[in-house]
């Protein structure tokens, strides 16, 4: 093979396969070359080796040995080096060569245990749902795990105005919340309070000092049968003492007048015994009610701020209404009122006497009228004082609200 044919063959090989063979042997040597080193043409960049920035020389130009000289032909002949074949006259790079020169894409990792191990939701579902479980159970377990893994919502910080509004709403809700037991105690105290005031007023009237005031007040009727004020005060004090002591009926049955005769008849002594029994029951009941009132006041004071004030205020209003009704009945018809009251507590015929009997001379009708007025005046004074002390003013309501909110917050 001639030198021209060998150069042409090498250029075609470079253009067709994008490779060049470095052969250090002379062109005329037909011995096969050993250990050929293939070179891949830079087809991906669309440039030949002649356009490479490393230089225009090829491996054949740098190979040792004599380089072939061009033939003295008048027409230009291609250079025997491969770099001449990769110049502008080289064949274009095909699409197949571009695809072959591209690096193969790395395969995406297939889903498997290595990837799922980092998913806490799938791990929890696999743990809670055994293999082979129905799909509905797996979905249900997935929903439960998702709910458990969902973080709790974080409330956004509120402004000062919003905080004050919420605290105000909480305070109003605490005030509107009416516990049952304190309200029951409050109602019981409101009912008891009128009876306590009446019993206390009766106890004050059934005393020696009131008898002394009655006998010495101007306008009190004198005794028509000759007893002076001192004598009436002496005999009348025995009756008052009997109502307040623990003595029996003999305490009055043994009394004698100036003539040595019994001061009181047996019917009068019996009636005084009935009066003592009624008053004794009222005083004993008053002590029980007083104890219950103290316990109720203590309970309300500790558990329900403002409850004491409300209970006493309601009781005072109830007492005022009851006293007004009784006073109206007494003023309209005193006789009927007096008879009705005695008929309630005493049997008929046991409380009527003659004007000459000792009880009528010591305690005439005016005495009972004044006693009723005194009881009413004492009750009214207590009611007025209580109303003034417990009237629901703005400052008292605010103080109660502060106490309620302070104890419930």
Of 43, 78, 99, the position where a domain reaches its end is: 99
Of 79, 99, 119, the position where a domain reaches its end is: 99
DSSP assignment letter at 88: T
The CB density around residue 64, as the number of other CB atoms within 10 Å, is 6
Which of the four pLDDT bands, split at 50, 70 and 90, describes residue 277? very high
Mean pLDDT score of the chain, rounded to an integer?
74
Q: Report the domain count for the chain.
A: 2
pLDDT at 7 > cutoff 60:
no
Q: Is residue 153 part of a domain?
A: no
What percent of the chain is modeled with pLDDT above 90? 39
H-state helical runs in 304-357? 307-332, 334-345
Q: Which residue has the higher pLDDT, 235 or 96?
A: 235
- In what helix (H) or strand (E) does residue 30 lie, and over which residues does it extend? none
Residue listed under structure tokens 């004090």 = 237
Q: Residue 256: beta bridge partners?
A: 262
Residues 300, 203 share a domain: yes
Q: What is the model's pTM?
A: 0.55
Q: What is the three-class DSSP state of 256?
A: strand
Q: What is the three-class DSSP state of 262?
A: strand
Q: Is residue 342 part of a domain?
A: yes
Is residue 193 within 8 Å of 293, Cβ to Cβ? Answer: yes
Could you list the residue range(s) of the whole structural domain that residue 395 is in? 179-408
Residue listed under structure tokens 């018809």 = 333
Task: Quote the strand ranges of 197-248, DSSP E.
Answer: none
Model confidence pLDDT, tens digit, residues 381-392: 999 999 999 998
Which of the four pLDDT bands, split at 50, 70 and 90, describes residue 87? very low
pLDDT at 71 > cutoff 90:
no
Is residue 50 within 8 Å of 42, Cβ to Cβ? Answer: no
Is residue 21 within 8 Å of 13, Cβ to Cβ? Answer: yes
Average pLDDT over residues 309-313: 92
């Amino acid at each position: 093979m001639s030198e021209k044919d060998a150069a042409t063959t090498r250029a075609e090989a470079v253009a067709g396969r994008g490779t060049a063979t470095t052969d250090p042997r002379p062109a005329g040597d037909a011995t096969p070359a050993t250990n050929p080193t293939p070179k891949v043409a830079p087809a991906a960049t669309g440039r030949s080796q002649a356009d490479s920035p490393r230089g225009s020389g090829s491996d054949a130009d740098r190979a040792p040995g004599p380089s072939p000289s061009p033939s003295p032909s008048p027409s230009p002949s291609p250079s025997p080096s491969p770099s001449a074949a990769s110049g502008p006259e080289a064949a274009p790079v095909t699409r197949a060569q571009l695809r072959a020169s591209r690096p193969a894409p790395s395969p995406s990792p297939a889903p498997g245990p290595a990837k799922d191990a980092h998913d806490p939701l799938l791990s929890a579902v696999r743990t809670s749902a055994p293999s082979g479980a129905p799909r509905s159970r797996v979905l249900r377990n997935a929903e439960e795990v998702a709910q458990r893994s969902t973080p709790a919502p974080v409330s956004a910080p509120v402004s000062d105005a919003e905080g004050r509004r919420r605290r105000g709403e909480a305070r109003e809700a605490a005030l509107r919340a009416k516990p049952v037991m304190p309200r029951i105690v409050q109602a019981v105290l409101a009912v008891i309070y009128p009876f306590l005031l009446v019993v206390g007023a009766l106890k004050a009237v059934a005393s020696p000092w009131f008898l002394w005031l009655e006998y010495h007040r101007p306008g009190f009727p004198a005794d028509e049968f000759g007893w002076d004020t001192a004598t009436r005060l002496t005999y009348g004090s025995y009756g008052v003492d009997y109502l307040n002591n623990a003595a029996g009926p003999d305490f009055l049955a043994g009394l004698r007048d100036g003539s040595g005769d019994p001061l009181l008849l047996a019917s009068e002594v019996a009636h005084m015994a009935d009066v003592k029994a009624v008053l004794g029951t009222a005083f004993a009941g008053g002590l029980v009610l007083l104890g219950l009132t103290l316990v109720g006041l203590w309970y309300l004071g500790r558990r329900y701020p403002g409850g004491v004030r409300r209970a006493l205020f309601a009781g005072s209003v109830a007492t005022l209404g009851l006293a007004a009704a009784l006073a109206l009945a007494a003023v309209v018809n005193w006789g009927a009122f007096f008879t009705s009251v005695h008929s309630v507590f005493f049997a008929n015929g046991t409380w009527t006497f003659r004007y000459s009997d000792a009880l009528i001379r010591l305690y005439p009708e005016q005495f009972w009228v004044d006693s009723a007025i005194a009881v009413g005046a004492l009750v009214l004074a207590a009611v007025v004082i209580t109303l003034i002390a417990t009237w629901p003013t703005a400052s008292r309501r605010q103080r109660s609200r502060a106490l309620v909110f302070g104890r419930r917050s």
